[in-house]
Structure 1
Amino acid sequence: MSTEVRVPTLGESVTEATVATWFKQPGDAVAVDEMLCELETDKVTVEVPSPVAGTLSEIVAAEGDTVGVDALLAQISEGGAAAAPAAPKAEAPAAAPAPAAAAPAAKDVEDAPSAKKLMAENNLSNVAGTGKDGRVMKEDVLNALSGASAAPAPAAAPRAPVAASQADREERVKMTRLRQTIAKRLKDSQNTAAMLTTYNEVDMTEVMALRNEYKDLFLKKHGVKLGFMSFFTKACIHALNEVPEVNAEIDGTDIVYKNYVNMGIAAGTPTGLVVPVINDADQLSFAGIEKAIAEKGAKARDGKLSMAEMQGGTFTISNGGVYGSLMSSPILNPPQSGILGMHKIQDRPMAINGQVVIRPMMYLALSYDHRIVDGKGAVTFLVRVKEALEDPRRLLMDL
């Protein structure tokens, strides 16, 4: 008896994925719920477990193939009788021209489901595809509908020729879906928003002193370390209350003001940048924020974040200081109108009350969408963040 392994539901609005890694090969025995392969979507990875115990008899979608929801991934033969046909199946992936293996694979990587739906709705055919092996993507159909089907080709400048002596020292690796999504979203952000960045600096003396004084007691009571991120999150929430347009977004000709704060905390992972979201951060205590950051950070590093955990953010904080960055201009995370960039804490000589003293200083950067946020609002926001961090008591007094 043979059991099909198919692509599971990938999440809201996600219709396709790339087969990233096969943990089993044809002929291998598998147990119920044992991981067979890993799929990579735009933002998260999805593990596919075995539905039954038996022998993996055939892999239909190879590593690197693009598959839609419910597409056939593999076949599992239940019971010991499956061991016999496993040997010829193992040779099928290696022999690429074999028609028996090619036929089902080609079927599973045909035009993207979203593209086929659009073509059917608009009675389109013969749309030129830019995907793998000429696969028609949703963007290709949209371009065809707008009369710009040829536009994507000249958009990418041809690669400069490489000397023959150096060509064999290069390595070409296909971009992951996550990296492609990051590249597209960041470029879209630059093309869409009227992005501008304003800078300031903050004296971290008081925050560092408060943290050092209470960090042991905080850990003992709440079971989580007291970091700087909760102070910055609270300071941003405080500033967003005064400058609500930084927490708003543009929808057509409307401005949508949010009476809540879903704080995005940018996190670097081995596979790329992700931005998990802490919902209703304005309702959380310092301990609640630290726990949420620790939980989402661990999930990000392990690739366990769901799509829902990365959607709905209204404002973002990015901490380049953990990598040693002294100054940078963060890029907006659409459709948000503001992002705060934190940086490295560095001892610098400062003039205070006519005296030169050494203080732990950090540069702050606020990138904002000038279509909705005026310069006055942006500068006011950053000054309020600075004031709250230099005198944390202001947070308690709501000043």
Structure 2
Amino acid sequence: MLDVPAGAPRLADVESASFLGYSRADGRVGTRNFIAIVSSVNCSATVSRGVAAHFASPAGRLERFPHVDGIVAMTHGGGCAVNLHTAGYDYLTRVLAGYAAHPNVGAVLMIGLGCETNQIPLLLRKHGLNEGPLLRTLTIQGSGGTRATIAAGIEAIEAMLPEVDAARRTPQPAGHLTLALSAEASDDPAAEAALGHAVDLLLRQGGTAVLAQTPDLLDAAPLLAGRAASPAVAERLAARIKDWRGTSARADLPDRAALEGGTASAVSTSDRARPSALAKAGASRLEAVYDYGEPIAARGLVVMDTPRYAPVALTGQIAGGCTLAVLATGRGGASSCKPVPVLRLATNTPLFERMNEDLDLDGGTVASGLETVEQAGTRIFRALLAAASGEPTRSELGDFGDNDFAPWQVGAVM
């Protein structure tokens, strides 16, 4: 059982929770079963999308494989003309490798151009990945051009589909779940507190929750540091906060403009302190702090250093191993990131009613007095288990989420 800070509210005992997930060879458990097409460079994006489009069409006949959730192309705007010894290169390769090795991904086809800086063999060696029946690679130049590479990609995925389709969901302890926490103009601390209660329930099961969007934590950093499991964890958090304060100063932005994503929302929240940003993280201690896209090994509550922008933050969290995500939104955020189900939590009821085709959960019930924090949190926790077990989210019902892959791009492109 995880420790909680002195004086923190103790959770009532909860029964052992489980979900239906895909057990992988490395011991991790997925909540979905995708095949990923990963572009090493923007130059191969058209080919990657061309291969995926084949299987989205009647000609692809993906219905032959009912246990495959889809074929998703991970394309981006980088991969070439970058220094191999920079943070930007590290972030990109870390994200691409993280998606390739993700527990929600049953097989991978990695496609490059052939002459890019981000060479596929180097990427694989750097992150300990090996080619095999379920991790195949192609280059456009080596395959004879665009059309030939699309044809070769289709053939490669056809060969992988039967084995990926053979996977089956089995009962798994909830402790195998790794949850990405994200927010976008969240406007009700009570809704975030309900999410925090759901997080505490998950952590009591041995699961992991990943708090990100570091600019959100600037005001709340002392409170979070006080919950650190060790001085080293507190120091690592302090270093990240110091870097972000420096970034805000150099960009001539007030802290709140940086954390809220724009002047209008910064003004609307200028009279409200941001320690409430911690509410969604529950009451447990902080176990670790990770760099962007770094593989998450610790259990419990952890922080990943990411920018405030939700698609970029979620991309890093998923690359780190998150198998499920919650986006708390007060304005109607629409991020949805295959291959991970994203539950969108409306932090006020009018928004939920206005956009109920896009939003999964109403978090405004606490403010309206319809539920207590604990009741709403338990409802959210049950929704997490249902989504992890295969119940489609609103975005999945619409087959959205192919275009939200957004690695953090930093540094010069030459």
Per the shorter chain, which TM-score range? under 0.3
Normalised TM-score (structure 2): 0.26
Structure (1/2) with the larger strand percentage: 1
